[in-house]
Structure 1
Amino acid sequence: MYVKHLIAASVTTMTLLASTTPALAEWKPDRPINIIVPWSAGGSTDQVTRVVAPLLEQGLGTKIVIVNQPGASGSQGTQAALDAPRDGYTWTANAIANNATYAITGLVENTSINDYEIYLHVANVPVVSVNADAPYKDFGELLEAMKGSDVTVGTAGVNSSGGMALAAIKEQVEGDVGARMVTYDGGNPAVMAAASGEVAVTTQLATEQTEMIRAGKLRALAVLSDKPLVVEGIDPIPPVTNWLPDMPIAADYFGVFIPKGAPQEVYDTVAQVWQDNIMNSEEMMSYASERGAVFAPSFGEQAMEVAMPVVIAEACARVTRGEAVVDPSTIGIDCPAE
């Protein structure tokens, strides 16, 4: 699903969900809920989770504590959430494709998308940006430089959106690409490294880069989309397909995920709160507009449906790149025949 279709899709999803939301929220939490963000503070997952948490607090009537637990491309915090008691009081937050594909690279064993009830809020897009003093005038010039030299690219790791974006770009370029990925504990440190000149480039998400782009510390060259990205206070960012017209694009959905095993009323209650407090949230819409995300909330079966294209794309890309240690079909993901 391309970025231009996401807003229309979210409206359709809201209409569908109105008829499927539970009529009565029954769970009344009696202590704080922890949401483990498996990345460092300031990154895309951390940012949006800190916007959504107060809205959930209003509906649930209890405190929500954000716990940053970075490490190993987000897998350490994810494992901690899976290992916690399945009582509804420990959630996690991430890009859904990460949680669905950790097992394929062996970062988290014996897990899949089916281990969670999923509640999505925004879709994000990676942006290729360079340090403001870099000599590259556009993405085409950067591509040529990446072919002939060891350009450094800051990301939050191979399993992050930035890492996957860099790998996808390399796949589309003929010949060897000399870009060397330098990994950090989260998107924000990777972006700051590019802004300071520690690395030349970052491919992290737009939501993590907008402040540095507005401040003139980064220069955005391309968005991984087939349409320009328009963000308040920033010149439109051209689509990567201007240079790589055959590059496949899949929306990268983010949300909060509750491991299965808790009483059903936990999930029903959160679904009701999601319907009431998130689906039409002005705060979430404002965040998306200011940060370059797409407001596309959903939950339940609809969330699973919209998430599967990026889950399949990223899982199967692991196989193509030789990064898979587990066959995606063993966790219910069938890759298209080549």
Structure 2
Amino acid sequence: MTYRIRVRLAAGALASVALATGAMAQDWEPGGPINIIVPWGAGGSTDQVTRVTAPIIAEALGVNVVIVNQPGASGSIGTQEVLNAPRDGMTWTANAIKNNATYSVSGLIDDTSIDDWHIYLSVANAPMVSVPANSEFEDFGALLEAFRERGEDITVATAGVTSSGGTAISSLATAGDFDFRMITYDGGAPAATATAAGEAMVTTQLAVEQIELARGGRLRPLAILSDQPLVVEGMDPVPAITDWLDMPLAPDYFGIFIPRGVPDEVIETMDYVWENHVATSDALRDYAEGFGAVLAPSWGELARERSIPIAIADACGKASRGEAVIDPIELGFDCDTMTEVSAQ
């Protein structure tokens, strides 16, 4: 499926700002530590990349950046905490952007959308289908046949219905025409670990949450939700899901998000920091290469453009599965054309 994107510039949205000198990055000097609320458990995909980028930001700004894990309700509890915080630039969140864009669709947060956030993307991730090392399933074809024959007898570990793993198995079930039974955990890392321990038969969490377990021989990867194989040092290539199923795919972007309404100098400074420190970071590059992520730093309107296809796919997928509390069109997503439209 090809996604056609029509970009709507949010009122007051800032385009990417390339500041001319390092001194201009000091227009905003935080008066204390910055708190980044990660609305998922420690060790998961969001937590991992945030712990790589936070020290880069801290060094650039000369302040402490504190990561607070606040899991619950598929990330909506921690996200709501940030929306409720004073708009002084001192409280941010981190997540997959599709979640922040679609929490209203699933009814987890009222009256919120992608345009509540200044978006700073760092990497793109893909879900991976894996089974315990001693599983009966040697490849995805055998697992797919079992799903179709045994349905809800096959248990799938995820971080919740709106998590990357949750939406991945729902999308796979739609494309593959099968049923399943989901077991949920507080984060992607616990879901992957539980699968390796035999608590579930399958996990569909992100590759970055499974790589160490796969390298260690505790998980057997069967497919990556991409049209290209996943190649990571220390393990065999993971076949693309398109070897078995024809299904819509869109990059799942992760990053740090600052609520709109903060002072302009906060965003101008962070644009500079993202361009000149985060996007050029060897630490972020090494993380992406070592854990099976795609290095994809962007900010401002480019970040928003990149986020729209996965937001549309996620919102419309929820609607097609009967999981939507409100129609995606109310957030400006037209599922008939898979485009963005002006909000109703």
Structure 2 length as normaliser, TM-score? Answer: 0.91
> 1:77-116, aligned counterparts within 5 Å?
77-116=78-117
CA distance in 2, matches of 1:337, 1:329: 11
Aligned partner of 2:311: which letter? Answer: V
Which amino acid counterpart does residue 224 of structure 2 have in structure 1? V
| Structure 2 partner of 1:255 | 255
How do 1:56-135 residues align onto structure 2 when only pairs under 5 Å count?
A: 56-135=57-136
User: Who is 1:22 aligned against?
Assistant: 19
Cα deviations by residue, 1:253-294 (Å, 9 ceiling, x for unpaired):
000000011111001111111111111111101000000000
Q: CA deviation at 1:154?
A: 0.2
Q: Give the aligned length.
A: 321
Pairing partner for 1:168 from 151, 167, 171: 171
* C-alpha contact (below 8 Å) 2:37/2:91 kept by paired residues: yes
The equivalent residue for 2:161 is 158
Using a 3 Å threshold, how does the CA distance of structure 1 residues 19 and 146 change in structure 2: closer, same or farther?
A: closer
The alpha carbon displacement at 1:329 in A equals 1.9
Residue 293 of structure 2 corresponds to which residue in structure 1? 293
Contact 1:88 1:262 in 2 (8 A): yes
Structure 2 counterpart of 1:5: none
Q: Deviations over 1:57-93 (max 9, x none)?
A: 0111110000000001111111111111111000000
Q: Specify the alignment match of 2:240 in structure 1.
A: 239
Q: Is the 8 A contact 1:119 1:256 kept in 2?
A: yes
Q: Tell me, what secondary structure is at the counterpart of 1:288?
A: helix
Q: Percent identity?
A: 58
Please tell me whether the aligned partners of residues 92 and 256 of structure 1 are also in contact (alpha carbons under 8 angstroms): yes
- Say whether the 8 Å CA contact 2:17–2:272 is kept in structure 1: no
The answer for the alignment partner of 2:10 in structure 1 is: none
Whether 2:227 is the aligned partner of 1:226: answer yes
Distance between the aligned counterparts of 1:200 and 1:323, measured in 2?
24
Deviation of residue 19 (structure 1)? 8.2
Give the Cα–Cα distance (whole angstroms) in 1 for the partners of residues 118 and 242 of structure 2. 34
Q: Kindly state the Cα deviation for residue 20 of structure 1 after the two structures are TM-superposed.
A: 3.6
Tell me the distance in 2 between the aligned counterparts of 1:88 and 1:221: 43
Output the amino acid matched with 1:167: S
Tell me the TM-score normalized by structure 1. Answer: 0.92
1:302, 1:141 → 2: CA distance?
Answer: 40
Separation (CA, whole Å) in 1 of partners of 2:237 and 2:252: 20
Take 2:65 and 2:188, find their aligned partners in 1: how far apart are those partners? 23
Structure 2 regions of 5+ residues with no counterpart?
3-14, 339-344
* CA RMSD, 1 decimal: 1.6
Letter in structure 1 aligned against 2:18: T
Corresponding residue SS for 2:222: strand
Shift of 1:22: 3.2
1:131-146 equivalences in 2 (<5 Å): 131-146=132-147
> Which residue is equivalent to 2:52?
51
Question: Are 1:139 and 1:221, in contact at CA under 8 Å, matched by a contact in 2?
Answer: yes
Instruction: After superposition, give the CA deviation of every residue in 1:178-197 in whole Å (9 maximum; x if it has no partner).
Output: 32110011001100110100
- SS in structure 2 at match of 1:103: coil
CA distance 1:19–1:303, change in 2 (3 Å): closer
- Which secondary structure does the structure 2 equivalent of 1:265 belong to? helix
Cα distance in 2, alignment partners of residues 108 and 312 from structure 1: 17
Q: 1:106 to 1:229 in 2, by over 3 A?
A: same
Partner of 2:303: 303
Contact 1:148 1:178 in 2 (8 A): no
Say if 1:227 and 1:238, in contact at 8 Å, map to a contact too: yes
